Amino acid sequence: MVTLQSKWRFLFMFLGIQLVVMALLSREGYHKRVSYFIRIFRKGDAAGPQLRNRTSAAFSGGDVYANLSHLSKGHSHGDEMPYCPKKSPLIGGPIHVSFPSGLTLAEVQRKNPLVVRGGRYRPPYCEPRHKTAIIIPHRHREHHLKFLLYYLHPFLQRQQLSYGIYVIHQAGNYTFNRAKLMNVGFREAMREEDWDCLFFHDVDLIPEDDRNLYVCDANPKHAAIAMDKFGYKYAADHQVSAAHSEEDSPLCFCSLSPPGFRTRCTLEEVSLGGMYISRPSLKVGRYKMIKHKLDKGNDVNPKRFNMLAKTRQTWKMDGMNTCEYELLSRKYLPLYTNITVNIGTESGLHSPPQKLKAAPKPVEKPAEKPAANSSTKRDKEPPAVK
């Protein structure tokens, strides 16, 4: 049984604990915390929407043009200028991406006054540390291209890069060969300038974080690793990748690879070259995909798995050193350089002429049966003696 003395002991212990707690809460921080919670409860209706707006803004990102409004044409690059900082002060992190209706290339050009003919840009107030060429394989995707240019130009400017954008357009109606167009873009871009790094970019992927730097590392880079289409989980089958400008780089794409197969082929080639793929974090390597239907002429290659199995035998022979194409035009447009090429078919650049079908033989009518007392019968009779 609990004695009276034990009850008093528990009571004093309880009162002592209360006094200690009250002494701790009586500090200055206690009053601040109490007043803070009182304001929240009193202004719950007013503060709630503001808090939700701030949270939503932080999640969705900011305007990609926000940090560029004060930039203007600076010194000529013939003058000596300091190098740009290793970390650009213009980088802002997450970017809000949407696809407004009515966007035109003229509007994109107006918002990027420092981009010169051919889609070239250099920082106006410092010497860039990196020179990057963007290679975009393209055919019949003008609607997607204008959105990509709308976001990609300010995205790269915030990183203080010297860059150029090349759109490699495949002529004709043969199967779209994205991998071969990448090899074409590599070669044509390097003919114009000694780029440090080349980024191969799908036209329907929009970067959502400018901390995803478009510069080359010691190894080939896979930048687009998380897309909204897949819940921002790791995805290897979509292309925003980078390679150094050396022609012997292992990042030379399988020329017949269909979508998805190309990336796996590249991973195998890089591994065979004794290198590995570097990637940003899932938080930084985020992209939004522009929805579209499957293009005509882009059917899945039925031989893709046989080709993948032969990568170890063909990786040194199928790529830059076997890339044949015919340059049809090169146009320096306000926002990009458009290069149109004929890459031929799987049979080669100039596919063999089709064999002419032999003309159909005329159908011979069956011979008519001779009538009675006909010449056939007369032939059997001996000739008359004169």
Is residue 187 a contact partner of residue 323, using CB atoms and an 8 Å limit? Answer: yes
Average pLDDT, the chain: 75
Residues 173-193 have pLDDT tens digits of 888 888 889 989 999 999 999
Instruction: Tell me the range of 11-15, 75-79, 127-131, 304-308 where mean pLDDT is highest.
Output: 127-131
3-state secondary structure of 56: helix
Distinct helix (H) and strand (E) counts, the chain: 10, 11
| Segment 293-317 mean pLDDT | 56
Report the pLDDT value the prediction gives residue 292, as an integer from 0 to 100. 65
Q: Based on C-alpha coordinates, what's the Rg of the chain? A: 36
Give burial (CB, 10 Å; 0-12/13-18/19+) of 109: middle
Q: Compute the distance between CA of residue 111 and CA of residue 117 in angstroms, rounded to an integer.
A: 15
Q: Compute the distance between CA of residue 27 and CA of residue 45 in angstroms, rounded to an integer.
A: 30
Q: In this predicted model, which residue has the larger pLDDT, 382 or 258?
A: 382
Tokens of 267: 């991973």
Is residue 257 a contact partner of residue 179, using CB atoms and an 8 Å limit? Answer: yes
Considering the chain, what percentage of its residues have pLDDT values greater than 70? Answer: 58
| Segment 282-286 mean pLDDT | 93
List the single range of 11-20, 40-49, 155-164 with lowest mean pLDDT.
Answer: 40-49
Report the pLDDT value the prediction gives residue 170, as an integer from 0 to 100. 93
Q: Which domains does the chain have, with CATH numbers?
A: 62-342 (3.90.550.10)
| Segment 151-172 mean pLDDT | 96
Residues 87-99 have pLDDT tens digits of 999 999 999 999 9
Dmax over CA atoms of the chain, in Å, equals 171
3-state secondary structure of 178: helix
Q: Hey, how many other C-beta atoms are within 10 angstroms of the C-beta on 113?
A: 11
Report the pLDDT value the prediction gives residue 377, as an integer from 0 to 100. 42
66-89 residues labelled b (16+ CB within 10 A) or e (exposed): ebbeeeeeeeeeeeebeebeeebe
3-state secondary structure 201-248: ECCCEEECECCCCCCCCCCCEECCCEEHHHCCCECCCCCEEEEECCCC
CA angle in degrees (0–180, nearest 5) for 41-46-47: 65
Q: Compute the distance between CA of residue 64 and CA of residue 342 in angstroms, rounded to an integer.
A: 36
Residue 29 has pLDDT above 70, yes or no: no
pTM above 0.75, yes or no: no
Residues 52-75 have pLDDT tens digits of 444 444 445 789 999 887 777 665
Q: In this predicted model, which residue has the larger pLDDT, 24 or 135?
A: 135
Residues 206-239 have pLDDT tens digits of 999 999 999 988 888 888 889 888 888 876 655 5
Considering the chain, what percentage of its residues have pLDDT values greater than 90? Answer: 38
